[in-house]
A = this chain, B = another copy of it.
Amino acid sequence: MSERLIFVTGNVNKLKEVKKILSDDGQPIEIDSRSLDIPEIQGTTQEVARDKCRRAAELIGGPCITEDTALCFTALNGLPGPYVKYFMESIGHEGLNNMLVGFPTKAAWALCTFAYSAGPGTEPIVFEGRTDGLIVPARGPKVFGWDAVFEPDGTGLTYAEMPDLQKNKLSHRYKALEKLRAYLQALPTEASTV
């Protein structure tokens, strides 16, 4: 492919994080970012991701990656899942905990879905990363989404309490990005296809 890969995001910090992880082993994958307002559909996390990536590729007219995050409660069979952002906006950290008061388990998993499209008309490929944990009363800085109420299993710390280095090595986003990186690095490069 001759065009540069575009990561669809309006979030500078996310772009930085993705660039860093995609360059981690000394074989950097070059990406740019673009902020696009793409409506997301309702459905499973995979359906949501594929649809968004498909539309992004059409708008961009070239290869792109998109990212979606879900927070899935075991007690709710995976919900709120892709809709967690609306719950977070509406009822905050305390509300997310309160939703689980009536259920015996506070288990949850954080799910990151990256989707890659080689360009318009190409079926997106999906890369998932999952981290299991618990929903707990908020601890740590509350600046980044629901990070303060999610405690990955075996850590004793919420995402919000962790140093970046620790979070990056076990986060759902990191796991999904590792898979995406392996895939992108195995693609034929421009040089080898000329």
* Residue ranges of A at the interface with B (Cβ–Cβ < 8 Å): 39-43, 48, 51, 75-83, 86-87, 90-91, 95, 97-103
Q: Which of these, B75, B78, B79, B90, contacts A78 with CB under 8 Å?
A: B90
Contact A51-B79, Cβ < 8 Å, known A102-B99, A103-B98? no
The residue from B42, B78, B98 contacting A40, defined by CB atoms under 8 A apart: B42
The smallest C-beta distance from A79 to any residue of chain B, in angstroms, reads 5
Other than the known A79-B86, A100-B102, what 8 A-B pairs have Cβ atoms closer than 8 Å? A39-B43, A40-B41, A40-B42, A41-B41, A42-B86, A75-B95, A76-B99, A79-B90
Q: What distance in Å separates the Cβ of A95 from its nearest Cβ neighbour in chain B?
A: 7
Number of copies: 2
Q: Nearest Cβ in chain B — how far from A77, in angstroms?
A: 4
User: Could you tell me if B91 and A87 are in contact, using CB atoms closer than 8 angstroms?
Assistant: no
| Cβ contacts under 8 Å, A75 to chain B | 91, 95, 98
Contact of A99 among B42, B82, B99 (CB under 8 A): B99
- In the assembled complex, 5 residue pairs joining A and B whose CB atoms fall closer than 8 Å, in A order, are A42-B86, A75-B98, A78-B90, A79-B87, A100-B102
Q: Chain B residues near A103 (CB, 8 Å)?
A: 98
CB distance from A180 to the nearest CB of B (A): 23
**Residues of B contacting A101 with CB < 8 Å?**
101-102
Whether A76 lies near B83 (C-beta < 8 A) is no
Q: Give the contacting residue for A95; candidates B40, B43, B76, B86; CB below 8 A.
A: B76
Tell me, in angstroms, the Cα distance from A40 to B98 when the chains sit together.
28
